[in-house]
Amino acid sequence: MTLSELKIYKTKAEKITCLTAYDASFSKLFDECGVDIILVGDSLGNVIQGGENTLNVSMDDMIYHTKAVARGVDSALLIADMPYQSYTNAEQTLENAKRLIDAGAQMVKFEGGFEHKTSFEILQKNNIPVCGHLGLQPQSVVEMGGYKVQGQDKISAKKILDDALLLESLGVCVLVLECVPAKLAARISNELTIPTIGIGAGINCDGQVLVSYDMLGITQGRLPKFVKNFLADSGDIKAAVNAFIHSVKNQEFPTDQHSY
C-alpha cells in the first residue's frame, strides 16, 4: 500500500481499513488479512501498559513497538504515533520522526493543527510523510476535560475544518478524525483531496480505524460508542479481522449506532 494508492481509493470511493498493532504476531495477521494501514498507536499506553490515558507513553516505547510491528508487515502502510511531548518544537519533531522512520514506520502521526504548524512544515521539507489527527486528541484529554465529542458547536466545528484544510496545505497525507459529528466529518472529507480515516466520525470518512483490542472485545472497562466487537460473532481472530474489513469496505460499519 502506497500513498498514491490511498488517494486512488479516495477517488474511487473505496473505503480504507486501518487497525492498530503493537507486536509482530498481530501485525503479520492483519497484513495477511489485507488491512490497508497498520497503526502503531500510542493507545498502547491503555491496552498494553494499562494506563488511564496515553500520556506516559515514551519515544522509546514507540520505537520498540514500531520495530516489532514492522517485522510482521509486508504489504500494509505502516504508520507510527509520535507520543506526548515528542513534537513540542520543529527540531524535536524532526529528530523524533526520523527515529520512528528508522524503526520501520513509513509515516508518522501526531495530533493537533495550527499550533504545530512549524512541526508540519519541517517534516514536509524533509520528505517525511505525515498523518494528522483532529477532533478528540487523546494526548490533550486533560485539557479537553475528558473523552468528549468535539466540534459540536459552530465555532469548534469551524476550527476543526480550518485546521484540516491547513494540514492538507502543509503536506499532510492522511487525516484521522476522532469523535466528531458525522456531518462535520463528511464535510471535511468532501473538502479535502487527502484521505480521511474516521474513528467515531461516521461512515462518510474515506476509511475507518479501530484499536484492535477494542475490535476484538478484549479491552477492559467501558467501551466507546463507536466500537464494535467483531470477535463476538466471528469465532476467531482472523475471522473477526476479515469481518471488520468486509464491513468497512461494504459500508456496513460504522452504523448510526456507532456515530455521533
Residues 25-50: tens digit of each pLDDT: 999 999 999 999 999 999 999 999 99
Residue 221 has pLDDT above 80, yes or no: no
Residues 50-100: tens digit of each pLDDT: 999 999 999 999 999 999 999 999 999 999 999 999 999 999 999 999 999
Active site residue 178: yes
Residues 110-136: tens digit of each pLDDT: 999 999 999 999 999 999 999 999 999
Q: What is the mean pLDDT of residues 241-249?
A: 98
Using left for φ > 0, alpha for ψ between -120 and 50, and beta otherwise, residue 134 falls in beta
- For the chain, give the percent of residues with pLDDT over 70: 100
What are the chain's domains? 3-258 (3.20.20.60)
Tally Cβ neighbours within 10 Å of residue 218. 12
What is the Cα gyration radius of the chain? 17
Residues 160-193: tens digit of each pLDDT: 999 999 999 999 999 999 999 999 999 999 999 9
Q: How much is the pLDDT for 226?
A: 96
Catalytic residue among 14, 121, 178, 191: 178
